[in-house]
Amino acid sequence: MRLADLTTLGVGGAPDVLRTCVATNELIERVRKLDDARENVLILGGGSNIVMGDEPFRGTVLQVATRGIEIKAGESTVRLTIAAGEPWDELVELCVVNGWSGIEALSGIPGLVGATPIQNVGAYGQEISQVIESVRVLDRTTGSIEVFDNAECMFEYRSSIFKREPNRRLIVAVDISLRIDSQCIVRYADLAAYLGIEVGGSATPVEVRSAVLALRAAKGMVVDIHDEDSRSAGSFFMNPIVSEEIASGIPATCPRYPAAAGVKLSAAWLIEDAGVTKGWRLTEDAHARVSKKHTLAIVTTSGATTAEVIELADHIQQLVFTKHAITLEPEPTLVNCALAGLS
């Protein structure tokens, strides 16, 4: 089986070996044995935030399919321990239905629970780091099981210690704490506008989830076999965080938000200002193009290769740098492939 069949972008060569792990202990032991044998290992979750190279993957791909949720409810909060292989959006739906608030704005995000701390997944004013109590991992350098509390995860915008030290740790379970609350505060302007409320106003988790799913679907950001624009790895580029000095040189029409290390700019605005339009492709017969719904996503059609995806991403990155002297960084993990770099 080609990895193209296991990723939402739909590109990638075949692995030497593919194994699916349905139990946490099985996953841990397989990784330990492969690491002890110094074999090349790729841990694959939902395949929604990864770009695989066209060449065969020389090694073993372990597909995470572990399941299990433990629930401990208190008077005002509920704590959930979730296996890494649980589908993320199924978890969000479970929580919303039960009136547990804190991740409803993260509805519709594809992939598995275990991947969410790595990228510090976030959308529409919420981030997974806001609700994580701890993350249970296998340290692949020592073979031991460790527990990282929230602070030890070193969360930043779309980053964490797990992303900054790739392949060192395997996430096997995540603990989150949610509020038992019929209302949640809406802090994201587009979401508030869709709901017809002011930023800082409240809505029910059910209302927020419904609105977010609609907003994401309009951008092709909900995986749907009937939507050609959902054949992507999600947002291909991260919103750049720049200094206030650099941000002051960008036109005021560019959306911007305060960030811990400066100012976060809209990557979509920068891309469009550099001349890239929805549906844009390098050549008429190219099998990779910009989404027709959202300029942050690169989508593929039947017959696409990773090389085409990378070539398009390189071109977009160069256009933005030439126009604004800002380097857009890819959001998905790139395996057996890489951007060419700026010239």
Q: How far apart are CA 108 and CA 205, in angstroms?
A: 14
Q: How far apart are CA 249 and CA 89, in angstroms?
A: 39
DSSP 114: G
From 129, 160, 235, 266, active-site residue? 235
Q: How far apart are CA 275 and CA 318, in angstroms?
A: 11
- Nearest 5°: CA angle at 47, between 162 and 276? 95
Burial status of residue 31 (CB atoms within 10 A of its CB: 0-12, 13-18, 19 or more): buried
From 158, 209, 216, 289, active-site residue? 158
Contacts of 29 (CB under 8 A, 6+ apart): none
230 is catalytic: no
331 is catalytic: yes
119 conformational bin, left if phi > 0, alpha if psi -120 to 50, beta if neither? alpha
169 is catalytic: no
From 133, 156, 311, 331, active-site residue? 331
Residues carrying an active site annotation: 158, 235, 331
